[in-house]
Structure 1
Amino acid sequence: MIHLAPPDPADAHDLTTLVGRLTLEDKVRLIAGHDMWSLTELPRIGLRKLRMSDGPAGVRGVSMGETRETSLLFPSPTATAATWDPETARRIGYLMGTQALDKDVHVLLAPTANMHRTPLGGRHFECYSEDPLLTSRTAVGFITGVQSTGVAATVKHFVANDSEDERMSYDSRVDERALREIYLAPFEAAVREARVWLVMSAYNGVNGATMTENSRLQNDVLKDEWGFDGVVVSDWMAVRSTEPAVLGGTDVAMPGPTEAWIGPLVEAIREGRVDEAVLDDKVMRVLRLAARVGVLGEAAPRTREVTSADAAAQLRAVAARAMVLLENRDGALPLNASALRRVALIGPNAVRVSAQGGGSAHVNAEHIVGVPEGLRAALGPDTELTVRSGVFTHRYLPVLPPDGVVDPATGQAGVGVEYRSADGTVLGAVVRLDPTMVFFPGTLPDEATTVAMRTRLTPTQDGAHLIDVLGAGRFTLTVDGRVHAVELAAESTDLGVMLLRPPLLRLEVEARAGVPVDIELVFHSVAETLFGKIGLGWAPPRASDDDELAEAIADAAAADVAILVVGTTDDIESESFDRRTLALPGRTDELVARVAEANPNTVVVVNAGAPVLMPWRDQVAAVVWAWLPGQEAGDAIADVLTGAVEPGGRLPSTFPADEQDVPVLSTQATDGRIEYAEGPAIGYRLWSRRGTKPAYPFGYGLGYTSWRYDGAVVEGDAERGLAVDVTVTNTGARDGREVVQVYLEPADGTLFGTPEPLRLVGFTAADVPAGATTVVRVDVAPDTLRRWDTEVNGWTTVPGSYRLTVGRNAADPQVTTMVTL
């Protein structure tokens, strides 16, 4: 079957003529950015403002919380990959595209196609997998969905940006084979297959050249070899030069206006150091993008076809389908809801679910369904549900609840904010739902010297409440007339750490239920704060850790089933910093072990985006991995626990049993370098080569039924690819979903004279009724059979005998056969 590419909207415009109508200054202003989120408009050629938005887990829009704008909150990208279903990724992309249309956003800064090189990577939750094929298939699906709405996708961060610590300065040293087969592969698929419209260059360097200046990768490989005709946009503030970045292939520098380009580039062109043809190519790419997203020429209507209710239902279904059943002893799950009279819901994430990670992927959600809310709806009124935190693990208190605070000046729900000059004149005011504020250049009035936040909170309990002041600088906190002078120093000069892990001061405030508390926070350090974050957190009275743990154990002992929800938080999994350990925070492991001792019928739901250690996994009845499930978290978790939906997910990365077993553990640069010494053998490939047994292998996942594989028939060759037909039987009592995985390895275990472990070459998910047998076809594309040959500096399929394995995961072969390529 021949698939014809859809018509390109840019073909309807004479872009060359439009470029010729622009002055040199116009051209430079166009590629140097206008402000934090947009490019310069040029009405005389019909170019309107082009807006961008962060978007890996939702379309935040052009607001950083200064408006009352909310967004759909999607399951974390790693959860999307756990479905092993490119069509699910396409539907998610389509939903994000429709919300971008709603927000008048033209460019979505997603997907993140970097690799799970180490489980400690801070943005692990935001990436898809440790495998390049699974990452590529998921990314292509997502990009196709987004761009089908007329919104541009941006595949990022190009390339080898797999650690967060020192990301602005480290140099990734990657050999050419690993670079081609692993790290560049998802970007190549995004360009060649999905025809992505933007690529974002990363902060880091690769093999000696900063990525925004890396002409070999951005010009020679991306644009010339792959034929990319879109825009290379820098990561925010990644451009640190004029001529090297311009000549190195970066087309647009963000955020704008980029001072390193505005004046200096005009001068460099006039003095002949940069050919104006280089600039014209960049302008042509921007205009082509503008035509594609509908901001060049006559404006086309931008409409959506999905309601919020439809979107919520789809997000709930995806979140549930992505969940992975890791353990299920004696059929502990699904729960028989009608037989349960008392359920103990325990855990810090049961009380405060982690629906998303931190950083640019974070959005102000329309709503988040809590786990108690979801379980109560699923279990019904006849089941008593007790809820305890058990332990406290969050670094930061919850932000002030929007439904519990009002601006005393306007009566609106939220926090009133005033921008004041040195003489106290109010230069601007707004009421925000989010009581945290992020500062960037241009976000405050020019003459502002202080920012005042005020709100009135009505407590629901008596006792000692906790309040957090967040941010670096000088503050005055006033609580019901009591004044506190606060001064906090930044923990780091790294911009990301300043914004995502601000210092805090915690105070106790005595308050009574139903009696309003007036709170004002004045920030005095505006003049010396170019970038920063300030805010307020609040928590009601709570027991000591020991008392809370004892009460949780007592609840568990008295219950028919104890459900523990434990995991990470968005101040543990976040952009800008890597994790230091795979252990769950605080006393979480102690909580799980003691609850399991009190009630053998203990089910653990792990609410995390990246692997954690689970030393108690053999002591509990069941373990469900729920990821960061997005806004429908509580309902999706309840759906899986009660059997309304099967946990059909499979792990997109290897989960270790012990931290010391992890093949690549460190994320830290040494002398400014990160050596990718493992070459192309990352993830399960390196686990396989080392022979170390993980807790759960790549591709692992159980389900609520059982399966039998009865053989495989392989047809095809290296030129056409392979078709693998696998006979699969659902031997259980209920319908189920199986992900059939095909792996390939050289018969003698070597390639190019070095050890070569197995690699994933194809997969297909199939829904099979109880008791039914079906033949599942897994297509293996010719490209997946090729390897990069450094001797010829090109792709080749190495002839010889190969072992083809069909399995349920990378460590569970069901059918093995030999093929010759």
Structure 2
Amino acid sequence: MRYREIIEKMTIEEKASLMSGKDFWQTQDIERLGINGIFLADGPHGIRKQAEAADHLGLNESIPATCFPTAATVANSWNEKLGEKIGQYLGEEAVAQKVNVLLGPGINMKRDPLCGRNFEYFSEDPYHAGKLAASYIKGIQSHGISACVKHFAVNNQEERRMSIDTIVDERTLREIYLTAFEIAVKEGNTKTVMSSYNMLNGAYTNENMHLMREILRDEWDFDGVVVTDWGGSNDRVAGLLAGNELEMPTTAGETNQEIIEAINSGKLKREVLDEAVDRLLHLIFTTEEVYNKPYKQEFDVKQHHQVAQEVSEESIVLLKNEASILPFKDGVKVATIGQFAEEARYQGAGSSIVNPTILENTLDILKDSRINSIGYEPGFERYGKKSKKKIEKACALASNADVVLLYIGLDEATEAEGLDRQNMKLPENQIELIKALYEVNPNIVAVLSSGAAIEMPWLDKVKGLVNGYLSGQAGARAMLRVLTGEVNPSGKLAETYPLRYEDTPAYHQFPGKEVSVEYRESMYIGYRYYDTANINVRFPFGYGLSYTSFDYSDIQVNKKEVTFKLTNTGEVAGMEIVQLYVGCQSEAIFRPKKELKGFTKVALNPGETRTVTIPFDDKTFRYFNVKTNQWEIEEANYNIIIGASSVDTRLEDSIFVEGTNAPLPYDKEKLPSYYSGKANNVNEAEFETLLGRKVPVSTWDRTKPLGYNDTIAQCQYAKGAFARFAFHSITFAHWLLKKIGKRELANLIMMSVYHMPFRGVARMTGGVINMRMLDGILLIVNGHFFKGLRHVLKERSKMLKVAKGNN
């Protein structure tokens, strides 16, 4: 242990006190031993440090900070150096606000496009997500503070996220859902990992010995701190045994007492607690060093805003450019239409909401651009309400223009933490506007703002489509610079855009509605599924257009790397994202047709040629063998593919790779869906063959009394009339708020009440309601109203007496 001398001076009570927060954002301090509390703050794309009352939902405003583009946006840059630069600027701002741990980046896989938090995640590909995450982490931690990679692991839906049990086979777990975390830990050297809310194959991730001990600690040699997601602790002692150092937020000492009792009973060994204390002390002391000497308490607001603009410019994706309608020609009369031009949609909703230092909107800066705008009309109401009058006014303006510049997208209430999207569609009032505008002026350039993929049956009605995603506080100016050609777009999609939601691989298994969610599609998510099953898509993974063109030639492959020549064959300078895909020619083990194993971004002047090299690494040819329980290499010929997207392959060669002679893990005859790749509707029997066990019952047992890990939603069938009344009151309030247009408040009810497990009532209230009081609440829920009420009042009285005595 690194801090044995200090730990030996500590009492059991002091050690236990360090294992949970002092308040909502700070850890406990022990003044007599010189141990300070440290501050943790949300911050995947900007610092969210609250000066006033703390909350985890983004309700209370935070100290102003630069709002950089979200992870889903930056992912489209495919630029690791840019990711590190963002991390450096995030780290500088974190230090200025005296933050020790920045809670990001988020690197969960985009298993399904409807996950409400996809805007916070990078990619549908683990290699891509891991590499960008590692770059962020390096940048953040260059300032001496800690990044915190999250949410570990398989947290791929927001509905029922605090109780859902994710059922996934071991190989898919390793290859798809853990690889990005592995890269973040081994290459990024993150100091902190946040465990997710959900269960994994029957055990909460925070208590999952296989995930937390065997993989994270033993295989990956992670020696940092694991922190729970806020309110994400189920059994505190089980979490500690699995290697979780820090529970957040505070439980007002309740779980500290559980740890002390476990030590005294022998359930928890002192060495386990000491190990956890040692790791937490290391995080505290190392992240405090920057504050033990003079440090910058301010940052250059304008410089950071400029960097946010540069990041946005490099992340914008040009998806359609019919008849070279872009960039806009000088003198072209442009009608600016769409409510997002007036009020930018630039970030997601929930715990990642940043209070920007500056916020630019298109209408404010349009006059400074090269665009000749003849006027503006909103055209639609932001939250979906239909207005014939708005459409008529927009069409009148459009009829007098050469080109329509149309700002469309998803609103903040549609994409939010704690909720999943209901569909992949653009709001109907916006689609009606597109169709109406097309009738009066077919020269439409649409600018899309959203944090995830959407369906585009209206695509034939626009000549140009530029996707800005959620581009941060400087995104408006970045977009105008792309539209005018001052910047050549170089972003490419980090997720596939399917033709329709029904085509997606998890369509039949998303989201899990009651007890569990089954990942029956296995490793076939995103392009791995579409390319293998030959499903047509709207825009493939890795797709993006440019104002110039590139030629690929002269591929050469050896055991260490692939090299080729790239030439800018157009008339303007540009950047091309080149992608390495690898496909195994053997059919002995099922695999996707090809998988991303490398990428780089190359800047070239017109006519310039450069030799590009992409090295192979330890992940290029490996697969996880469930029989040997380790990574193996299959002896075979492998296709080495260089592409401009997963579909647009430009060069191809092959190489023979010697294997590790591991036994074949599967019986091909028993897994036909997985060997064909058509795995979007696998039956239960075949999925159980893949799992090697029976799947658990996925529906609630409505005959049992409700317990700690059941949700408020389950009160609909509770024995207690009061609980059923409460359930119907909640659902009515949700309906009414949506009806009167208060969608964000309605969403909050679903996120923080409806899907909350009962234990969350205690874990998220900072000790106002403890677990013994919760026992009384559950008595009421289960039909013992007066007995339960007496229990609640009795335990409340006890708690107040203890609190008074401590004061």
**Would you say the 8 A contact 1:393–1:585 is kept in 2?**
no
Quick check: 1:608 aligned with 2:450?
A: yes
Written as runs of structure 1 = structure 2, the 5 A alignment for 1:258-337 is: 259-294=253-288, 299-303=292-296, 307-336=300-329
Indicate whether 1:655 and 2:497 are aligned.
Answer: yes
Give yes or no for the alignment of 1:737 onto 2:575. yes
Q: Distance in 2 between matches of 1:91 and 1:226?
A: 26
> Residues 617 and 395 (structure 1 numbering): CA distance in 2 closer, same or farther, change over 3 Å?
closer
Aligned residue runs from structure 1 range 640-789, under 5 A: 640-665=482-507, 666-716=509-559, 722-748=560-586, 750-752=587-589, 754-789=590-625
Q: 1:202 to 1:66 in 2, by over 3 A?
A: closer
Cross-structure match for 1:537: none
Off by >4 Å, runs of 4+ in structure 1: 64-68
- Residue of structure 2 aligned with 1:39, choices 27, 36, 46: 27
Task: Pick the aligned partner of 1:21 from 2, 6, 9.
Answer: 9
Q: Taking every aligned residue pair, what percent have the same amino acid on both sides?
A: 34
User: Which residues in structure 2 correspond to 1:256-655 (within 5 Å)?
Assistant: 256-257=250-251, 259-294=253-288, 299-303=292-296, 307-336=300-329, 338-340=330-332, 342-379=333-370, 383-394=372-383, 545-655=387-497
Paired residue secondary structure (1:392): coil
Distance 1:87 1:305, change over 3 A: farther
Q: Is the 8 A contact 1:395 1:571 kept in 2?
A: no
Aligned AA (1:346): I
Q: Describe the superposition over 1:14-35 as per-residue Cα deviations: whole angstroms up to 9, x where unpaired.
A: 5111111111111111111100
CA contact (8 A) 1:561 1:599 kept: yes
**TM-score, normalising length: structure 2:** 0.78
| CA offset digits 1:499-551 (Å, max 9, x no partner) | xxxxxxxxxxxxxxxxxxxxxxxxxxxxxxxxxxxxxxxxxxxxx71111000
8 Å Cα contact 2:558/2:655 also seen in 1 = no
- Please list the CA deviations of residues 65-119 of structure 1 after superposition, one character each: whole Å capped at 9, or x if unmatched: 7567211101010111111011111011111101101111110000101000010
Mapped to 1, the partners of 2:649 and 2:41 lie a distance apart of 43
Residue 323 of structure 1 aligns with an amino acid whose one-letter code is I
Cα distance in 2 between the residues matched to 1:155 and 1:701: 28
Summarize the alignment of residues 25-174 of structure 1 with structure 2, pairs less than 5 Å apart: 25-63=13-51, 64=54, 69-174=63-168
- CA change 1:669–1:778 in 2 (3 A) is same
CA apart distance, 1:259: 4.7
The runs of 5 or more residues in structure 2 that have no matched partner are 658-807
CA distance in 2, matches of 1:391, 1:191: 45
Indicate conservation of the 8 Å contact 1:723/1:780, yes or no: yes
What is the SS of the residue equivalent to 1:294? Answer: helix
Residues of 1 paired with 2:194 and 2:411: CA distance?
27
Q: 1:801 aligns with which of 630, 634, 637?
A: 637
- 8 A Cα contact 1:114 1:157, kept in partner: yes
SS in structure 2 of the partner of residue 637 of structure 1:
helix
Inter-CA distance 153–652: structure 2 relative to 1 (3 Å threshold): same
Q: Residue type matched to 1:658 in 2? A: R
Deviation at 1:348, TM superposition (A): 2.4
Per-residue deviation, 1:204: 0.2
Name stretches of at least 5 consecutive residues in structure 1 with no aligned partner.
1-12, 397-543, 717-721
Give, in whole Å, the separation in 2 of the partners of 1:598 and 1:778. 49
Structure 2 partner of 1:467: none
Aligned residues: CA RMSD: 1.8
**Secondary structure class of the residue paired with 2:354:** coil
Q: Judging by fraction of residues, say which structure has more strand.
A: 1
User: For the residues of structure 2 that align with 1:68 and 1:697, how far apart are their CA atoms?
Assistant: 38
Give the drift of 1:195: 1.1
Which shows bigger deviation, 673-682 or 253-262? 253-262
> Paired residue for 1:216?
210
Q: Tell me, yes or no, if the aligned pair for 1:560 and 1:601 is still in contact at 8 Å.
A: yes
Q: Alpha-carbon deviations, 1:453-472, whole Å to 9, x = none? A: xxxxxxxxxxxxxxxxxxxx
1: CA distance, partners of 2:579 / 2:541: 11
Using the TM superposition, name which of 251-260 and 738-747 deviates more.
251-260
Whole-Å Cα distance in 2 between the matches of residues 269 and 239 of structure 1? 19
CA contact 2:127–2:180 (8 Å) conserved in 1: yes
Q: Which residue of 2 aligns with 1:813?
A: 649
User: Is the helix fraction higher in 1 or 2?
Assistant: 2
Equivalent pair of 1:374/1:636 in contact (CA under 8 Å)? no
Query: Matched residues in 1 for 2:588 and 2:225: separation?
Result: 37
Q: Shift in Å at residue 351 of structure 1?
A: 2.2
Instruction: Tell me whether 1:235 sits opposite 2:194 in the alignment.
Output: no
Partner residue, 1:402: none
**Are the counterparts in 2 of residues 391 and 548 from structure 1 also a CA contact under 8 Å?**
yes
The 2-side partners of 1:284 and 1:561 are apart by 64
**CA–CA distance in structure 2, aligned partners of residues 22 and 315 of structure 1:** 45
Q: Tell me which amino acid in the other structure corresponds to 1:684.
A: Y
Code of the aligned partner of 1:321: E
1:50, 1:295 within 8 Å by CA — same for their partners in 2? no
Residue 222 of structure 1, CA deviation: 0.6
Amino acid at match of 1:607: S
1:240 shift after superposition: 2.0
Measured in 1, the distance between the counterparts of 2:401 and 2:384 equals 30
- Aligned partners of 1:38, 1:136: CA distance in 2, in Å? 28
Q: CA deviation at 1:570?
A: 1.6
Question: What residue number does 1:407 align with?
Answer: none
Q: In the TM superposition, what is the alpha-carbon distance from 1:564 to its structure 2 partner?
A: 0.5
Name the CA distance, whole Å, in 1 between partners of 2:65 and 2:150: 21
The answer to whether the 8 A contact 2:38-2:100 is kept is: yes
1:179 matched residue in structure 2: 173
SS of alignment partner, residue 138 of structure 1: helix
State the alpha-carbon separation in 2 of the partners of residues 122 and 255 from structure 1.
Answer: 23
The alpha-carbon deviation at position 295 of structure 1 amounts to 5.8
Kept after mapping to 2: 8 A contact 1:237/1:254: yes
* Cα deviation, residue 333, structure 1: 0.6
Structure 1 residue 676: Cα displacement: 0.9
Number of residues of Structure 1 aligned to a counterpart in Structure 2:
650
TM-aligned CA deviation for residue 395 of structure 1: 6.8
AA of the residue aligned to 2:518: E
Residues 203 and 395 (structure 1), Cα distance of their counterparts in 2 relative to 1, 3 Å cut:
farther
Distance 2:620 2:270 in 1: 40
User: 2 CA distance for matches of 1:696 and 1:273?
Assistant: 54
Q: Map Cα deviations across residues 261-317 of structure 1 (whole Å, 9 max, x no partner).
A: 121211221222211111111110110101220269x82333379511111111101
Asked if structure 2 preserves the Cα contact closer than 8 Å seen for 1:111 and 1:156, the reply is yes
